[in-house]
Structure 1
Amino acid sequence: MIPKSVSFASRELLSSIWTGPLILKKVNRPDLENTRHKENSLKLWIFEAKRLPTKKRYFCEICLNHILYARTTSKEKTAESDPFWGEPFEF
């Protein structure tokens, strides 16, 4: 807040100092509010596994840079069907 004891010319100078960087950003990128912004996210959908040996339980692990971030539920492979997850993940 600008002090009341400051003269008009000084107040104007102070307000331009405080809003200067904001105005500078709009001068450099006047369309900043109308530009498309990138969302940093990753979306995966694990569907199914095929041609696996029967009578075992299977799951998928999702690792990024060797760090485990998520794991699907465990599904059993039967002779009639392949394991199906249909699980979405979003990071």
Structure 2
Amino acid sequence: MADDRLSRIREDEAKLAEHTRKSLVFWAVRWAIAGTGAVAIVVFTGDHHWLLPAAAAIAGVSLGVILVGASGNRKRLARARAEAEGRAHD
């Protein structure tokens, strides 16, 4: 029973790592495109200089959400793993 739970936790850890990696790759692509667009708007119009700091702030917040969520999930899985390993040794 405990071994089954540990194997599910290992699977969840692998899925979380893959999900986090994909989220970070999509974040990088999304903000590379958005950043390029923001720079192009500012350069070609000569106006909307507020756009770059606003885009950077939104990018920072979205990256923070990804990292905080992944960290919380890793901590929760670590607690579950410790609990399952404790039961396995009993």
TM-score, normalization by structure 1: 0.28
> Where is the helix percentage greater, Structure 1 or Structure 2?
2
Choose between structure 1 and 2 for higher RCO, CA contacts under 8 A separated by at least 6 residues. 2
TM-score, normalization by structure 2: 0.28
> Where is the strand percentage greater, Structure 1 or Structure 2?
1
